[in-house]
């Protein structure tokens, strides 16, 4: 064969190119049309953060202290109030053993408190909401810190999103407990159904229900203590409808990847028990295989099986292949968990991510839902409605072994699903969101999958999933508006509006 750089080699390549032009190219397979939606929303992006209660982030909204040297926040005229510690009169007359104190940006690093299924119920004390220092506070730190709060000079981006879009002040953790139950409830509404396990899971599973943070069974990066779950999740329903989707988590492509955080430690970006789809054989990517191409991200049948790194999300977005449904999990150092992250690191991730989304051509048909997996044990003063009772040795809400005493009110007969749990923040950022609006109707984590189910007509999960009871988040939208909300670009460091906003 002639050398490709010789005259003969060049002639050979030129002839091959000329001949290829004479052969009709095979037509590209037309992409199937996107399934119809019931709203103008064609893309839902759920940014799922860690371990914060509503009162810890919005206790005094929209009133910020605005101390010198801190990022400023000034509320717009006619900003609605929320059911917070300020409006409830609980800043100076709190039923707990200490009154809440403001935490400024210099106090962003705080202790990681207990958010155990039983500890949280004990802190609620039959609905009196008065035993948080005694039951959820980290004993190595001031016990009173568990009732303290941040305002718009620290969680500045979140308060600005609330100003320009929609906030809920009545949304709850689906059940009591830590990260894994919260993440699993987000995608299936069903923490019962442990079908297989490895290692010691005695503290994480009660009567076949997952209440702790055992790692997923179908994950090579997991610890020796793992569980697998049966049943369906929202991914299965989306696959049945041909809707593109994915879970995108920082560090997924290399689970040894780390960051040194301002909290002073080194943390792996990927945390297996934060990845709920890996608990289900049908939606797992055990070996963390990458997508075959950017064009296949979100699509069924590729080796990644809908489980990706965050870098894959932006590859898909840049290729104009934004999935219809995307779940985003920040790398650990930016997910907001007090144990290894903080509100300022969280703000950097959220504001940067939303800024980039708002610059996409798909933004006009996109809704971002900002939600959290659990309260982290932090105080919130609102006693939730208990829609599912439970009577196990790990329950304590209304007495030893009791979250209510009515066995008929055990949802589906599945124990250890006492809920709703602690009130959590939830925001909708979208051109279609109501502006400067506070929703007061009751919702929970499964309200997010209810919206997805209704938007693509997938039907419900079934098997006593909480999605059948979930409140509706559509009151946070105005789908009849003619003038869409403009993008709000924020400075990721300060959380303040950037440029000409």
The percent of residues above 70 in pLDDT, for the chain, comes to: 93
Q: What is the pLDDT of residue 12?
A: 35
Whole-number average pLDDT of the chain:
93
Q: What is the pLDDT of residues 220-231, one digit of tens each?
A: 999 999 999 999
156: CB partners within 8 A, 6+ apart: 71, 73, 347, 494, 495, 496
Q: What is the pLDDT of residue 500?
A: 55
Pair 201, 214: CB distance under 8 Å: yes
Q: What is the pLDDT of residue 263?
A: 79
Kindly indicate whether the domain formed by 52-476 is annotated with CATH number 3.40.720.10: yes
In the predicted structure, residue 4 carries a pLDDT above the cut 80 = no
One DSSP character per residue, 27-91 reads PPPPPPPPPP-SSS--EEEEEEE-S--HHHHHTTTT-----TTSPP--PPTTPPP-SSTTTTT-S
Q: Is the dihedral of CA 347, 349, 352, 356 positive or negative?
A: negative
Q: What is the pLDDT of residue 32?
A: 67
Domain boundaries, the chain: 52-476
Q: What tokens does 318 get?
A: 């840049």
Q: Is 388 left (phi over 0), alpha (psi -120 to 50) or beta?
A: beta
Q: What is the pLDDT of residue 203?
A: 95
> 350 by DSSP, 3-state: which?
helix
On the CB side of 436, CA atoms within 13 Å amount to 9
Q: What is the pLDDT of residue 205?
A: 98
Pair 178, 148: CB distance under 8 Å: no
Q: How far apart are CA 52 and CA 49, in angstroms?
A: 8
User: Lowest mean pLDDT: which of 109-118, 119-128, 178-187, 492-501?
Assistant: 492-501
Q: What is the pLDDT of residues 281-306, one digit of tens each?
A: 999 999 999 999 999 999 999 999 99
Q: What is the pLDDT of residues 78-99, one digit of tens each?
A: 999 999 999 999 999 999 999 9
CA dist list (Å): 209 to 177, 202, 233, 443: 12, 11, 16, 22
């Amino acid at each position: 064969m002639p050398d490709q750089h010789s005259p003969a080699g060049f002639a050979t390549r030129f002839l091959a190119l000329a001949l290829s032009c004479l052969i009709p190219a095979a037509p590209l397979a037309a992409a199937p049309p996107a399934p119809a939606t019931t709203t103008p929303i064609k893309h839902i992006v759920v940014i799922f953060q860690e371990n914060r209660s509503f009162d810890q982030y919005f206790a005094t909204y929209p009133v910020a202290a605005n101390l010198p040297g801190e990022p400023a926040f000034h509320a717009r005229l006619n900003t609605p109030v929320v059911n917070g510690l300020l409006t409830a009169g609980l800043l100076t007359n709190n039923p707990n053993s200490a009154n809440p104190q403001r935490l400024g940006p210099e106090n962003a690093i705080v202790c990681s408190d207990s958010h155990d299924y039983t500890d949280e119920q004990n802190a609620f004390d039959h609905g009196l909401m008065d035993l948080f220092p005694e039951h959820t506070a980290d004993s190595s730190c001031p016990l009173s810190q568990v009732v303290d709060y941040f305002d718009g000079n620290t969680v500045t981006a979140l308060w600005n999103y609330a100003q320009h879009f929609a906030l809920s002040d009545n949304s709850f953790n689906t059940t009591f407990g830590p990260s894994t139950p919260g993440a699993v409830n987000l995608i299936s509404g069903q923490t019962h159904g442990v079908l297989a396990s490895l290692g010691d899971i005695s503290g994480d599973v009660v009567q076949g229900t997952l209440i702790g943070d055992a790692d997923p069974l179908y994950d090579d990066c997991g610890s020796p203590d793992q569980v697998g779950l049966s049943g369906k999740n929202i991914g299965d329903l989306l696959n049945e409808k041909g809707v593109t989707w994915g879970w995108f988590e920082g560090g997924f492509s290399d689970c040894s990847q780390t960051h040194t955080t301002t909290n002073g430690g080194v943390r792996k970006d990927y945390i297996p028990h934060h990845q709920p789809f890996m608990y289900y054989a049908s939606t797992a990517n055990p070996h963390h295989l990458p997508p075959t191409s950017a064009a296949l991200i979100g699509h069924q049948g590729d080796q990644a099986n809908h489980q990706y790194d965050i870098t894959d999300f932006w590859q898909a977005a840049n290729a104009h292949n934004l999935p219809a449904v995307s779940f985003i999990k920040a790398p650990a150092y930016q997910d907001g968990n007090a144990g290894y992250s903080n509100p300022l690191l969280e703000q950097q991730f959220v504001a940067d991510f939303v800024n980039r989304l708002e610059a996409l051509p798909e933004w006009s048909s996109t809704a971002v839902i900002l939600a959290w997996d659990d309260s982290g044990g932090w105080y919130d003063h609102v006693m939730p409605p208990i829609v599912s009772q439970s009577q196990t040795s790990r329950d304590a809400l209304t007495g030893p072994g009791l979250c209510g005493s009515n066995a008929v009110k055990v949802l589906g007969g599945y124990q250890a699903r006492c809920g709703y749990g602690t009130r959590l923040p939830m925001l909708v950022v979208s051109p279609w969101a109501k502006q400067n609006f506070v929703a007061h109707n009751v919702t929970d984590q499964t309200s997010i999958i209810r919206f997805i189910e209704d938007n693509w007509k997938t039907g419900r999960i079934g098997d006593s999933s909480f999605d059948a009871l979930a409140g509706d988040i559509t009151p946070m939208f105005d789908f009849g508006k003619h003038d869409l909300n403009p993008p709000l670009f924020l400075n990721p460091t300060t959380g303040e509006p950037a440029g000409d906003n």
